[in-house]
Amino acid sequence: MRRILVVGAGQSGLYLAHGLLERGYDVTLLTGRTSTEVRHGKVAVSQLTFPSALAHERRLDLDFWRGQAPSLDRLTVDLGATVEERFSFGAAIQGGGVSMDRRVKMADWLEAFEDRGGKVTVHGVTVTDLDYLAGMYDLTVVATGHGELGQLFDIDPARTGGGRRRVAIDTFVFGAECPVDNTLACVFYGGLGSMYVVPSYTPYGPGHSLFMFGEPGGPLDLSGERLNPVQLHERVVGLYREHAPHLYEQVKDTELIDDKSAGIEHIEPYVRDPVGTLPSGRAVLGMADTVLSIDPVVLQGWNNSTVCAGMYLDRILAHGDAPFDAAFMRSTFDEYWEYGQQAILLGDLIGGVMEGESPPHVMELFKMLPENPALADGIVSALDDPRAFTQMMATPEQMEQTVAATQ
C-alpha cells in the first residue's frame, strides 16, 4: 500500500485525501488546526462551488449539506468600466451552485476524513520538519501556500501573468432581504472593484455573505483602518450604501452571525513552479492555491482547487507502483495547467471589462446580455468551466459564433 502525505486541510488537500483514502491508499493529512479550531475560527474569503465541482464532491460523498445550503440558481449583475457606464442583466446558473462558510465545510470534511479511517496529524510544520517527514512517504503533496512552505515553490515568470492584487473583505450575516430567493447579486465597476450579496450556509444555518474585492488603496480597501468585526461590518454596509444603493437596500438591516464572521485578506495572483525541493533533495508536489492563485473576482477558487485535486488524484491512481519523481510531478501539473491558464484568462476577461481594458468585442458581447436572455444564461452558466467560458469570447470570431448560436 502506497503512503501519501497531504499537507494542508483546505478544499484541495481534503478532497485529494478523501479520494486517495477511498481507493485504499495509506493517507496522512497534516494540518495546523483541529476541526474545532477551524469551526470556531476566523472567517475566510467566501467561495462558490459551481455544478461541476459539486458533482466531484458528490462522487466522494462529501456534499453533506445538500437540501440545507441555499442553492444559487440565478445571478444578477451590474457591470461597467465606470458607475456611469454601467448596465445590468440577470441570468440562470444552470445546475445551481452553493456558497459555504469555509469553517463549516473544512471542519466537517476533516472530521469525516478521520471517521473514514484517515490519519490526521495536527501540528505546525517547517521546511525542516517536512524534509524529515517526506522520507517516510512515497509522495508528499503540499496544499498550503502560506508561510515558509509556500516559499519552496518559486514564482514561474514564464507562466505568471494577468490578474491584479486584491483586498478581500468578507462578512457573514443574518437579516438580508433579497427580492428573489437563491439569487447571487453583484456589481463590477471600474475604479471601484466588485461587491456581492450571496445566499450562504453558515455554522448556524442559512444566511448571507457580503463580500467585496478592491484594489489596494482603492475605495473598497479598509485594511488600513483598525476595525473590530462589528465596526468592519458597519463600514461594509456603508460601502454598499455609497457605491451600490440597490444592494444596500438588501443589506442595511443585517447583523453579523458571530464575532468572528468579518475579516480582511490580501490576495495576489501568481503561478509557481509545482516542484519544491527540500534541503535533502527530496521533491514535493505543490497543488492548487499553493502554485496557482488567480484574480478572485471571478469566484473560481474552489472550482480550481477541486479540478486540480481531481486531476492529481487521477494521475496518482494511474501511476501505479512507479516512483513519484520530479518528472511525474511536472507532468501532473502540466495537465492541470491546461485548465488553470483558462481560469487566468477568465479573470483577465472579467477584470478587463470591469476596468475598461478588455478587447472591444468582449465589451460588445457583454452589452448584448440585457437584451438577450439566452446568451446571458449561456455566459453565466459557462462560469462552471473556464475553458467553456473563454471559448465563447476569446476572439471576435468565437464571440460571433456564440451570439449566432442564440439566434
Residue 375, in any domain of the structure: yes
What's residue 103's pLDDT?
97
What's residue 195's pLDDT?
97
As for how many domains the chain has, the answer is 1
At CA 153, angle to CA 344 and CA 343, rounded to 5? 10
What's residue 132's pLDDT?
98
Residue 8, in any domain of the structure: no
What's residue 11's pLDDT?
98
Q: Distance of alpha carbon 401 from its chain centroid, rounded?
A: 29
Q: How far apart are CA 261 and CA 290, in angstroms?
A: 25
What's residue 60's pLDDT?
98
- The order of strands in the sheet holding 275-277 is 119-122, 26-31, 3-7, 139-142, 283-286, 275-277
Burial 287-319 (b: 16+ CB within 10 A, else e): bbbbbbbbbbbbbbbbbbbbbbbbbbbebbeeb
CA atoms within 13 A on the CB side of 21: 24
Q: Distance of alpha carbon 388 from its chain centroid, rounded?
A: 18
In three-state secondary structure terms, 212 is strand
What's residue 154's pLDDT?
96
Eight-class DSSP state of 70: P
What's residue 161's pLDDT?
66
The residues near 196 (Cβ < 8 Å, ≥ 6 apart) are 46, 184, 185, 186, 209, 210, 211, 212
Angle between helices 51-59 and 301-318 (to 10 degrees): 40
Q: What would the grid cell of residue 202 be? A: 453558515
Residue 251, in any domain of the structure: no
Residue 108, in any domain of the structure: no
Nearest to 11 by CA among 98, 95, 94, 74: 98
Q: What would the grid cell of residue 186 be? A: 453583484
Element holding 262 (H helix, E strand): strand 262-267
The residues near 81 (Cβ < 8 Å, ≥ 6 apart) are 190, 353, 354, 355, 356, 363
Residue 376, in any domain of the structure: yes
Which range marks the domain in which residue 400 is found? 359-404
What's residue 12's pLDDT?
98
What's residue 350's pLDDT?
86
Residue 237, in any domain of the structure: no
Q: Distance of alpha carbon 138 from its chain centroid, rounded?
A: 29
Give whole-number Cα distances, 1 to 192, 320, 321, in Å: 53, 10, 9
Residue 46, in any domain of the structure: no
Eight-class DSSP state of 32: S
Residue 400, in any domain of the structure: yes
Reduced DSSP (H G I as helix, E B as strand, rest coil) percent helix, strand, coil of the chain, to 5? 40, 25, 35
Could you read off the pLDDT tens digit of each residue along the chain, which spans 407 residues?
899 999 999 999 999 999 999 999 999 999 999 999 999 999 998 889 999 999 999 999 999 999 999 999 999 999 987 777 889 999 999 999 999 999 999 999 999 999 999 999 999 999 999 999 999 999 999 999 878 999 999 999 889 766 789 999 999 999 999 998 999 999 998 889 999 999 999 999 999 999 999 999 999 999 999 999 999 999 999 999 999 999 999 999 999 999 999 999 999 999 999 999 999 999 999 999 999 999 898 899 999 999 999 999 999 999 999 999 999 999 999 999 999 999 999 998 888 877 778 889 998 999 999 999 999 999 999 999 999 999 999 999 999 999 999 88
Element holding 142 (H helix, E strand): strand 139-142
